[in-house]
Structures are given as C-alpha cells and as structure tokens.
Amino acid sequence: MTSRLRGAVVGCGFFAQNHLAGWNDIEDVEIVAVCDLDIEKAKAAAAKFGIAHYTDDVNALFATQKLDFVDLPTTMETHEALVALAVSHQIPVIVQKPFAPDLAGCRRMVALAQAANVPLMVHEDFRFQHVFRAAKQIIDRGELGELTFGRLSWRTAIDVYSNQPYLINVKRFMIMDVGIHLLDLARFLFGEVDGVFCRTQQIKEGIAGEDAATLLLTHDNGATTVLDFSYASRRYPDPFPQTGVEIEGTAGTLLIGLNQELTLHKQGESTLQKIAPDARSWTREPWTQIQDSVVHTQRHFIDCLRQHREPDTSGRDSLLTYGLLEAAYLSASTGRLERPERD
Ligand code: NAD
Ligand code: 89V
C-alpha cells in the first residue's frame, strides 16, 4: 500500500456527500474516482470535491483505477453485486448499512470476502459517536459495576422521506433503517444477546413498512435492554438524531440526554459532562453528530487496513447484529421471544 491510500466512492447520492466530505478530512487518504449510475451525480461530486475521475460504469472504475479500497454508500439491494465485484478485484470494501436486505445476503458477502481474504467492513457509525465511546470507556473501567438494565431510545418526527424517498416503499423499514444502529450499539455497550422480543407499529399512513418498534433484549451477561425508536414521535424541539441512553449497573447509572449530555450517578453523587462532536467546516445541524461519526468510522476502517486487523464492525462481526434484526422481525410476527442465530 502507498502512503496515501487511494480510494473510490461508488454512489454519489444523499448520504455519500457526508462520506466524500469525511474522506477529505482524512489526510492519509485520497479519493481518486467517484462513480454513480447517474453520471450527473458523479460529475457533480467530482467537481465539488476536486476528484480527478468520474464514471457511471463501475466495471470501468475497477478496470482503470489502481485502488487500495472502495467505499459503497449505496442502498442495500445494490451491495451484494458491488461487494462481489470489489472482492473479485481483491479490493477492500467499506459498505453502508443496511448491509443487505436479509441475513442470508449478509452471509453470502462475508463468505465471498473471507474466501478471497479481502477486508470487508460495514459502515455502522452510531457506535463511533464520541458520546458512546465515552460511555463504553466508563463501562470498561468498571465504574457502573455489573450491567443490569439499559434503554436506548431514538424518537423523532423528522421528515426522513424527503431525503430518502425509497424508505416509503420498503417492507422492512424502521428496524432496518434505525433499529440496526441501536442493535449494534446495544451489542457494543452491553455485549451479546441471547433473546429478542419485538413489537412493531405502522403509524404514518401510506408507507409499506413499520415506522416504530419496541424491542426487549436479554444479554448473555444477564442485563436486559429496551430499544425503542420511531419516525412518528412528536416532540418540540425535535431531538433528531440523538439517542437517549440509560445504563444501570450494580455500582452506578449512566444517562445520556439531549445535546450529548452524559450524567454519571455513582457513590452518592452525580456528575455531568457534555461530549460534543468534533468541529468540522462542513457539518450542519441537526446532522452534526452523525456527520462527525462518519469520519471516525472511516478512520477506523483505514487504521484497520494499515494495521492488517479486523474492523470492529467487520462483515463477519455484523452477522451478529443482522441476526438480531432477523430475530426482531420474527418476534414481531410470532409474538414470542426469539433466539437470534449466532453462527
Ligand atoms: P441515494 O439513493 O440518495 O444514493 C445512492 C446512490 O447510489 C444513487 O445515486 C444511485 O444512483 C447510486 N448507485 C446505486 N447503484 C449503483 C451502482 N451499481 N453503481 C454506481 N452507483 C450506484 O441513497 P442514500 O439516501 O444516500 O442512502 C445510501 C445508504 O446510506 C442507505 O443504505 C442508507 O440507509 C444509508 N444511510 C446511512 C446513514 C447513517 O447515518 N449511517 C444516514 C443516511 C443514509
Ligand atoms: O439511515 C440512517 O442511518 C438514517 C439516520 C437518520 C438514522 O441517520 O436514517
């Protein structure tokens, strides 16, 4: 690998703008080409970010560019073909969430990448938000004792449908779009899960899938967590895109409230600290927290490539998260607590 890693971004749509701005903030990376089926989007991205090459033909991209990695901020139904193509060229891949429409698709991509020994990471950015890194450090230092209970809550009525109109028509909507972030976060903070109970709701009319869900998870360490998330929750001011968090342990409690305020209750007193995202020229409220975490996710991918280690949210690791997603949808249909597949 050269000292500046040469990357390409395939997909120049809505969220890719954050990926492109993020790569720009990483000094030891150069995005040398962009690609979109819509050539105007590829051309506009190349112009905006000063990228030398653009194309609407992903085969031509791999045939003509010498790449150290490829980034795929495209929607999930495109991932399997694009990952297969990158793997066939031995190019490491970072791919946006949702990884695939179902667990079987995730498994096929992981098998392909493993057989070819090509690094594959899922761009799961919530766990890279500073406030959750701080929470994890407090847990790992043992300040809360043994974890017993948690709640991760993400509720908003933001108009998600204007920026992401495809969400109107997906049958697996809310758990796939936002629940997946919280499932990954629950694993990150509380460890692996052996049971999932889920109830879904469709509150907005005219959409194909659920826009709210409530999950109860039982963890291997004995903790119980509740995950609730909704795109139909009216609050003023709207808390988008913040996750409210409660973590209880035998020695203390950690709360994350609005504006990334983290309060630690232990030894008879509480202390509050604000954990802000990094200041960046291109981030805009209310998206700052998510936009900043994009860069930390990308940084992790590059560090892992350079150090030849598996990313925390590798394709292989993500199978556990998508196993929970399948268990959640199964539970919503059976009305029972379901055991996730964990192979
Ligand atoms: P989008 O539809 O705006 O953009 C996708 C782009 O990919 C389109 O321009 C499309 O033409 C292009 N594309 C598709 N297949 C292609 C191919 N084979 N070759 C070249 N280009 C191709 O989608 P979006 O709203 O930007 O979402 C992309 C993904 O990002 C989704 O999976 C979404 O869930 C995810 N997302 C993540 C976050 C986050 O916080 N992590 C936030 C928003 C969206
Ligand atoms: O796809 C997503 O992650 C978005 C969100 C608003 C949560 O960033 O829907």
Q: Write the DSSP string, 7-35.
A: EEEE--STTHHHHHHHHHT-TTEEEEEEE
Q: Is 243 in the pocket of ligand 1 (CB under 6 A)?
A: no
Which protein residue has the closest C-alpha to ligand 1 atom 31? 75
Taking 70 as the threshold, does the pLDDT of residue 1 lie above it?
no
Q: Is 176 in the pocket of ligand 1 (CB under 6 A)?
A: no
Task: Find the 97 Cα to ligand 1 centroid distance in Å.
Answer: 9
Give helix 103-116 / helix 79-88 axis angle, nearest 10°.
10
The Å distance, Cα 164 to ligand 2 centre, comes to 9
Nearest CA to 293 out of 192, 188, 193, 215 is that of 188
Nearest atom of ligand 1 to the alpha carbon of 15: 26
Provide, for the chain, the percentages of residues in helix, strand and coil under a 3-state DSSP scheme, each rounded to the nearest 5. 40, 25, 35
Single-letter amino acid, residue 279: A
Q: How far is the CA of 330 from the centre of ligand 1 (A)?
A: 27
303 CB near ligand 1 (under 6 Å): no
The bound ligand whose nearest atom lies closest to the alpha carbon of 174 is 2
pLDDT of 291-342, one tens digit each? Answer: 999 999 999 999 999 999 999 999 999 999 999 999 999 999 999 999 999 9
Nearest atom in ligand 1 to 241's CA: 40
Q: Average pLDDT over the chain, rounded to whole? A: 97
Q: Which residue has the tokens 């999932």?
A: 196
Give me ligand 2 centre to Cα 331, in Å: 23
The secondary structure of residue 128, as a DSSP letter, is: G
* Cβ-based burial of 281 (10 A; exposed 0-12, middle 13-18, buried ≥19): exposed
Alpha-carbon span 253 to 180, nearest angstrom: 24
Asked if residue 221 has pLDDT above 60, the reply is: yes
Distance, in Å, from the CA atom of 226 to the CA atom of 249, rounded to the nearest integer, reads 15
| Nearest-CA residue for atom 1 of ligand 2 | 177
**The ligand 2 atom nearest the CA atom of 178:** 7
* Atom of ligand 1 lying closest to residue 124 CA: 41
Average pLDDT over residues 270-289: 96
In this prediction, residue 81 has a pLDDT band, given cuts at 50, 70 and 90, of very high
- Quick: pLDDT tens for 144-197: 999 999 999 999 999 999 999 999 999 999 999 999 999 999 999 999 999 999
SS3 state at 229: strand
> What pLDDT does 23 receive?
98
CB-hemisphere CA count at 13 Å for 194?
A: 5
The length of the chain, given as a count of residues:
343
- In contact, 80 and 109? CB cutoff 8 Å: yes
Output the CA 210–ligand 2 centroid distance in Å: 15
State the pLDDT at residue 343.
77
CA distances from 337 to 255, 326, 328 (A): 27, 12, 9
Ligand 2 atom 5 nearest Cα? 178
**Cα end-to-end distance, the chain, whole Å:** 33
Pairing state of beta strands 212-219 and 261-266? Answer: unpaired
Alpha-carbon distance of 121 to 156, in angstroms, equals: 28
- The pair of structure tokens assigned to 178 is 């936002």
72 lines ligand 1 (CB under 6 A): no
pLDDT at 36: 98
Lowest-pLDDT choice from 2-6, 179-183, 232-236? 2-6
What is the spatial distance between Cα 201 and Cα 230, in angstroms, rounded to a whole number?
9
pLDDT, tens digit (0-9, with 9 covering 90-100), for 33-69: 999 999 999 999 999 999 999 999 999 999 999 999 9
Please tell me the number of Cα atoms within 13 Å of 95 on its side-chain side: 30
User: Does the C-beta of 332 come closer than 6 Å to ligand 1?
Assistant: no
Ligand 1 neighbour 78 (Cβ under 6 A): yes
Stretch 106-128: mean pLDDT:
98
Kindly report the pTM of this predicted structure. Answer: 0.97
**How many angstroms is it from 178 CA to the middle of ligand 2?**
6
Burial class (CB in 10 A: 0-12, 13-18, 19+), 299: middle
CA of 328 to the centre of ligand 1 (A): 24
For the chain, percent of residues with pLDDT exceeding 90 = 98
